């Protein structure tokens, strides 16, 4: 028997067309949409604004949920939550909620595993299992939106920095964000989203041409090709000069700031000279650098830098006019930190 289609895989236009095909008034599509994205309903019985025959038909044709929470993890300080979801085909993903003083930020996945092979990243060490549909990406956000609603809280930010390379699943990633941004539904502002890429240059250029208000972050981690290629294999295809040119085009066309991410690895990329190389690379660009001491993974022997060296790195950048933030390491005790998401065999 064929698997039912996931209801979240339809956008509002798709729902409207479906209602027309079924001989229903167009406003039924808006009722379904608002039930999903505003009321956060997840089972057919909750859609009481719809007549029973329509609810029954939707339940026969669509899955209302496809992510099955298999395990939940909470950090010792209670600020980070992680959920391991099983997908319909047995693959799995992880999604993380980070609680800050005023923000509730979700780190969501776009793929099960990742094909980019970054050596210090646990997800990259898994290899790629498959890409997610737009609905499966959306569903991660709505799952946590329901959990937060129980305590009268809301999702305030979404970072597309979980498992997978978002620009390797470009269409589904952007479709998911459009649905979550839709003013008649979840209505999370475009600037509340950040997409992180390791540097798929054609997709950066496409993203630039489409002129989104979504924030863009690039995982850089090295300012010379030899080191970056050793850490991030895709650099062999899209070298730093090509990548940085695309980043400059993005800033020039969109007039938006770009973020560069840098995992500080002890004695490898954490010295003042590395900071100077980075400053030279991005000089004159409207950008911000986020640095974070490397989070540990089982298959990479590199160690996190010290906070002292992290502060020196930051000061060196700032002395050359490059704004920099040392990011707080979160959820390390539950393997929920940047680069730590992975499904053990």
Which residues participate in catalysis according to the annotation? 94, 338
Angle (deg, nearest 10), helices 12-21 and 27-37 = 140
Question: At which residue do the structure tokens 């079924």 appear?
Answer: 22
CA of 230: how far to CAs of 127, 170, 235, in Å?
Answer: 17, 25, 9
What would the two tokens of residue 289 be?
């650098």
| Chain centre distance of CA 317 | 26
User: Which residues, 6+ apart, have CB-to-CB distance to 287 below 8 Å?
Assistant: 247, 251, 257, 258, 259, 260, 322, 323
Residue 107 near residue 98, CB atoms below 8 Å: yes
Residue 226 near residue 240, CB atoms below 8 Å: no
What would the two tokens of residue 28 be?
């039924």
CA distance 223 to 264: 12
Residue 198 near residue 219, CB atoms below 8 Å: yes
Nearest to 196 by CA among 163, 155, 223, 165: 165
CA dihedral 180, 182, 188, 190 (to 10 degrees): 100
Burial zone of 90 (CB within 10 Å; 0-12 exposed, 13-18 middle, 19+ buried): exposed
Burial zone of 225 (CB within 10 Å; 0-12 exposed, 13-18 middle, 19+ buried): middle
For residue 162, what is the enclosing H or E element? none
What would the two tokens of residue 168 be?
């390797």
């Amino acid at each position: 028997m064929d698997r039912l289609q996931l209801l979240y895989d339809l956008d509002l236009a798709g729902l409207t067309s479906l209602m027309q095909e079924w001989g229903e008034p167009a406003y039924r599509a808006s009722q379904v949409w608002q039930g999903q994205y505003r009321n956060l309903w997840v089972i057919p019985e909750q859609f009481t604004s719809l007549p029973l025959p329509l609810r029954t038909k939707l339940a026969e044709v669509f899955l209302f949920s496809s992510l099955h929470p298999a395990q939940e993890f909470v950090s010792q300080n209670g600020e980070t939550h992680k959920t391991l979801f099983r997908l319909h085909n047995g693959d799995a993903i992880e999604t993380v909620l980070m609680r800050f003083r005023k923000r509730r930020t979700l780190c969501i996945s776009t793929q099960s595993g990742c094909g980019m092979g970054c050596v210090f990243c646990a997800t990259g060490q898994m290899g790629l299992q498959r890409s997610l549909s737009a609905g499966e990406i959306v569903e991660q956000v709505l799952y946590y939106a329901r959990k937060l609603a129980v305590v009268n809280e809301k999702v305030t930010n979404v970072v597309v920095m979980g498992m997978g390379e978002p620009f390797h699943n470009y269409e589904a990633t952007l479709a998911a964000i459009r649905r979550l941004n839709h003013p008649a539904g979840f209505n999370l502002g475009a600037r509340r989203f950040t997409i992180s890429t390791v540097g798929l240059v054609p997709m950066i250029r496409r993203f630039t041409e489409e002129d989104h208000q979504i924030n863009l972050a690039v995982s850089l981690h090295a300012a010379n090709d030899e080191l970056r290629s050793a850490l991030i294999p895709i650099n062999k295809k899209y070298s730093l000069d090509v990548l940085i040119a695309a980043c400059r085009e993005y800033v020039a066309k969109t007039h938006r700031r770009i973020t560069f991410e840098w995992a500080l690895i002890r004695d490898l990329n954490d010295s003042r000279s590395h900071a100077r190389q980075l400053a030279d690379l991005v000089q004159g660009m409207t950008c911000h650098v986020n640095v974070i001491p490397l989070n540990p993974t089982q298959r990479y022997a590199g160690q996190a830098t010290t906070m002292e060296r992290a502060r020196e790195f930051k000061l060196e950048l700032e002395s050359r006019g490059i704004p920099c933030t040392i990011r707080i390491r979160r959820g390390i005790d539950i393997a929920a930190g940047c680069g730590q998401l992975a499904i053990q065999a």
